[in-house]
Structure 1
Amino acid sequence: MNSQAVAFESFIEPHLQTLHNHCHYLSGSQWDAEDLVQEVLIKCYQYYQKTGAIRHPSTLLYRMTRNVWIDQLRRQRRYAAPVEEAADQPYSDINYAAARGLVEWLSEHLSEREAYMLLLSEVFCYSYQNIADELQCTVSTVRMVLHRSKRTLRITREARRKRISGGQMSEYSVEYWTKAIMNDDPGRQLRFI
Structure 2
Amino acid sequence: MALLPFRPSRSKRFERLVQPHLQGMYRFAFRLAGQQQDAEDLVQDVVVKLYPRLEELEAVDQLRPWLNRVLYRHFIDQVRRKGRQSDRPISEVADPEQQAGYLDAFASDTPELGEQLDLARLGPQLARVLESLSPDQRTLIMLHDVDGWRQEDIAEVLDVPIGTIKSRLHRCRAALRERLQREMEPFSVTGRVEQ
TM-score normalised by structure 2 residue count:
0.37
Q: With CA pairs under 8 Å and 6+ residues apart, which has the higher RCO, 1 or 2?
A: 1
TM-score normalised by structure 1 residue count:
0.37
